[in-house]
Amino acid sequence: MHEGPAPSRRAFLRDAATAGLIAAAPGLVVTACTPPTRTEAAPDSTGPGRTRAAGDLTSNAYGHSNADHARGNLRRDIVEAWEDGFRTAAGNGDPNVFEGWHSAFTGDDGTTVSFALSTRLDDGFVPDPGEAGRRPKATVTVTDPDGTTHGGVHTCAWNEFAGAKDRCDLRLGPFTCAGDLKTYRMKGRSGDVGVDLTLTGLVPPFRPGTGIVYLGDTEDHFGWLCAVPSGTAAGTVTVGGRERPFTGRGHHDHTWGNRPFPYSVEHWRWARGSVGQYSVIGSELRLRNEYDSAVVPVFLVDDTRSRRRLVGAFDPRTVTATESDPRPHPGDGYPKDYYSKVHWMYRDGDDRADFTFTDTDHLIFTRQYVTDPAQPQKAALDRLGIDETWYTRYATTNDLHLSVAATRVSGTGTGALEAAQFGLATAPPKSGRTPTGSSPATPTPGRHGPPAPAGRRG
């Protein structure tokens, strides 16, 4: 049964992270392939975040206690189909609530596809968004191997949107997305750009604990579910009215929230990549001082050949991320440098993994949000101490060193790294050097889509 948006109060969630296998890569060394599943599903009571006085509920970290799972009606270690459904239906009337389903594909021939359906124009990046931002959109792009991008944002009225609550089954204007945590189909066409792709998961879904971060002692929260961390993709893409076959890899994830990110998040880093048969996701969100300056990490390693999960960690005692090598930002207008390298480190007893993402000087996409804020937005930004808000995504090379139980892996590969800054206080100062890379003439959208059309805030 489909449920249209029902105006109400604030409801559910949103997050920062996602997954997928980008490309096989040379330089892989593997020994002893008999790995057990390693999923850090339930850190002990002294684990990440802090415990609320009432009911053993977790704040400022992904929930992991029995009480956290009961609160969300969630089963520990088991992801159910409804979790990828329209979770914010009851609260959709509140402009602060947001939700999005994101899929990305890399073709064997180098073609890339981005397919995202969202309930808000600004994806939760803008404080006090107001009713003007409460509008659904589809972001569908096809980027040729030479870097030429086709497609963009397709906005819709609410009577053109429908979403099931018991599974992922969405319609937004001419676009649809439906799946069951194993197989998904994304289909639709706008103008001369269209896609009809089927994504088949190679590994199980991943939810870090409850997948939900509650903020302080409030009901404010965001959440993330990676329904397909890595899968095979097949179908067709249409560009300029001409249809062509597509085969490759892809991923699908889901984010939601009931309060825009600037109120709680200082910045985040989110990355995905591959080294041969191994797909990796790393993320780190740093919360604002009001929420204990908490660090919320994720580190995921899957063997797509054996379909086994080697690492599924989200405890800051076992996962850390370190930024280094500041460089001039290749995007016009960015007033500081940025960190071009992020190293995720996992340590749990004798198990260890290191994964480093390094910028290739190829900027995929960058966008500054709220460049012309309305008065309520300006007041909110001033109150929060946020000067500028930026999102950047760039291509990377990857280095993986993994030692988990009987598996030893060392190799190199490729991927992508995303950075979101809600205020530039934590960005490295501008060095005055000239960027070595350049922005593509037509930037490829990242998770949050291409720049808004002229005249639209955020």
Residues 160-219 have pLDDT tens digits of 999 999 999 999 999 999 999 999 999 999 989 999 999 999 999 999 999 999 999 999
pLDDT of residue 48: 65
Question: For residue 311, is pLDDT > 60?
Answer: yes
Instruction: Give the mean pLDDT of 42-62.
Output: 66
Class of residue 44 by CB neighbours under 10 A (exposed 0-12, middle 13-18, buried 19+)? exposed
Identify the pLDDT of residue 446.
36
Query: How far is the C-alpha of 343 from the C-alpha of 357, rounded, in Å?
Result: 6
Prediction pTM value = 0.84
pLDDT at 51: 58
Report whether pLDDT(54) > 70.
Answer: no
Mean pLDDT of 381-395: 93
- Report the relative pairing of strands 265-275 and 407-422 from DSSP bridges: antiparallel
For the chain, percent helix, then strand, then coil, each to nearest 5?
10, 50, 45
Rounded Cα gap, residues 324 and 319, in angstroms = 17
Question: By percentage, how much of the chain surpasses pLDDT 70?
Answer: 82
Q: Please state, for a pLDDT cut of 90, what percent of the chain lies above it.
A: 71
Residue 366: what pLDDT?
84
Which of the four pLDDT bands, split at 50, 70 and 90, describes residue 147?
Answer: confident
Q: What is the pLDDT of residues 92-146, one digit of tens each?
A: 999 999 999 999 998 999 898 999 999 999 999 999 999 999 999 999 999 898 8
**pLDDT confidence tier of residue 226, bands split at 50, 70 and 90:** very high
Q: What average pLDDT does the structure give for the chain?
A: 85
pLDDT of residue 455: 29
β-pair partners for 39 = none
- Which range (144-148, 385-389, 437-441) has the least confidence? 437-441
Q: What is the pLDDT of residue 38?
A: 36
The token pair at 420 is 């979101």
Is the CB of residue 9 less than 8 Å from the CB of residue 238? no
Residues 312-366 pLDDT 10s: 999 999 999 999 999 998 877 899 999 999 999 999 999 999 999 999 877 777 8
Could you tell me which residues come within 8 angstroms of residue 409 by beta carbon, excluding any fewer than 6 positions away?
A: 28, 29, 30, 31, 275, 278, 400, 401, 402, 403
Is residue 29's pLDDT more than 80? no
Q: Rounded to whole angstroms, how far apart are CA atoms 126 and 261? A: 7
pLDDT at 268: 94
Span 30-45, average pLDDT? 35
For position 140, what pLDDT does the model report? 94
Q: 422 pLDDT exceeds 90?
A: yes
